[in-house]
Amino acid sequence: MAKLPRVTLLDSTLRDGAQGEGVSFSVADKVSIVRVLDSLGIDVIEAGNPGSNPKDAEFFREARNLRLRRSILAAFGSTRRRDTRPETDPQLASLLAAETEVVVLFGKSWDFHVRRVLGAAPEENLGMIGDSVAFLRSAGRRVIFDAEHFFDGFASDPDYALACLRAARDAGAECLVLCDTNGVSLPSRVAEFTRRAAALGAPLGIHAHNDSGLGVANTLAAVEAGAVHVQGTLAGFGERCGNANLSTVAANLRLKMGRDCLASDALPELTKAVRRVSEIANLALDEGMPYVGRRAFAHKAGMHVDAVRKAPASFEHVPPGAVGNERRFLASEVGGRSVLLDRFRRLLPEAAKDSPLVVKAAETLKRMEGLGYQYEGAEASLEILLRKAAGSYVPSFKLGRYRTTGEHPAEHPETCAHAMVQLEVAGRREVSAAEGCGPVHALDLALRKALMGFYPSLAEMRLTDYKVRVLPGTGATASVVRVLIDSADDRDAWTTVGVSADILEASWLALVDSIEYKLVKDSRAGIRDRNPMSTGDEHADDDDAENPGRACGA
């Protein structure tokens, strides 16, 4: 059987992704993302439009000093303007000034857009495409031509849409990219139109948006119909509903379709890379994202957990490690004791299902959930709970007291709240104060300030999200609340939970668990020294095991 052709990947996070709501990259951000994409072996990184804004122009100047191992950079821009020669067109001049080996050039291929948006005659648009491609080729650039609105254009006038592709091909474009710019096509239409465009005999690509939720499906349909070049954004974000998610596409190409893409050793790094790009973009990753989301290999129902432990393929379509993710068994009242046993065996490998410690942990879990705790989304707090039950928990500090105050109206909103904490670490009393944007922020800063001298690795930790939910069945302003705090460092992300009728106490409990988990995982990885609170007796007090929400004297 003949080997299928390699599919080249173009990532547009720095161009199309930057057009997504809430996304704004600095030049340093762009450089960081380029390095992530290069490590994966993305073939082409579409790094921006140098003619559209000063920031992109500055990036391309700085990018000349980048030494990439696997990827090449591309500048993005449009065909020449109407009634302008290529040699005098400022857009084309900016593309040459970017000094990239590859230029991605887009042009109209829908007769409706040509007349109503561009205000040009159809033949004039064909000349704009051909002239622009030929001009860039004569300057030594490789050209990828993006046929904007191709699928809408083909549905309206197939001959004209193909004529636009032919004009780019004949002028020297090395790849013709069919763009579902509005994201409205169905996979059947994408496949049919791609097969018909393949009659031109030129390499084809696909650029799909996700407005109908079909970005990935349309991309794969185009590949099956003959496309050998795929465009998207690594985490899927982009204008409106985003672009085809390139991490999902790449994993499907490699694992489901047997198509070569990315570097040979890159797929196990996929999850980490997607998280890093989302973090740089300051966007919360959709944890339900295929392959790389935290929920992608999460199992909750007891029967599912039991089946996966016996035969992972029973409920997992690929091994989690193939994409750098991990299997998660969610602990809850419907998860059964087998979930806890799996977690427990990470702490006590010889633990049995009927072990008194496992039984006690299961009872504690159900009791805590009865109080409003929910651990399926707060696995860091779950690990702290299980460490207490296993007798391997040593608190990193003890709380004396804390106090918060606020100001309203606030003259300076970023410092409208103040917090003081009094702690004890290894017999030493520490008092620290901080101000922040709200009492929880101030508490977090004061707590870490007090602990930094003992645990320097806390300097790299940050809170990334904070959620409050009023629990049902409770009353108005006297309600019990559940607080979830998302935290991260340079390697991992984790979530902790706290529950109380006092929102500050609930926040404090989640903060404490977040710091304790950070220190536990760093100790496990050999990143920090021995806990100064440890006396060598690693068994928690019975009170701690019975009252896990009050760990560390919190």
Which amino acids are annotated catalytic? 304
User: What 3 state SS string does 364-396 have?
Assistant: HHHHHHHCCCCCCCCHHHHHHHHHHHHCCCCCC
Backbone angles phi, psi at 480, to 5 degrees: -85, 135
Gap between the Cα atoms of 554 and 547, Å rounded:
11
Q: Count the residues in the chain.
A: 554
3-state DSSP assignment of residue 285: coil
Token pair recorded at residue 223: 């590949």
Gap between the Cα atoms of 88 and 72, Å rounded:
27
CA nearest neighbour of 106 among 132, 85, 86:
132
Contact in structure between 6 and 236 (CB atoms under 8 Å): no
Gap between the Cα atoms of 519 and 522, Å rounded:
5
3-state DSSP assignment of residue 293: coil
Which residue is associated with the tokens 């592709």?
165
CA nearest neighbour of 78 among 44, 19, 111, 118:
118
- Print burial letters for 216-249: b (CB count within 10 Å at least 16), e (below 16): bbbbbbbbebbbbbbbbbbbbbbbeebbbbbbbb
Contact in structure between 259 and 232 (CB atoms under 8 Å): no
Gap between the Cα atoms of 308 and 432, Å rounded:
48
Which residue is associated with the tokens 């065996």?
345
> Between the CA of residue 208 and those of 73, 102, 144, 221, 289, what are the distances in Å?
20, 20, 16, 11, 17
β-bridge pairing 398-406 and 328-329: unpaired
CA nearest neighbour of 109 among 150, 51, 170:
150
- Residue 472 contacts by C-beta under 8 Å, 6 or more apart in sequence? none
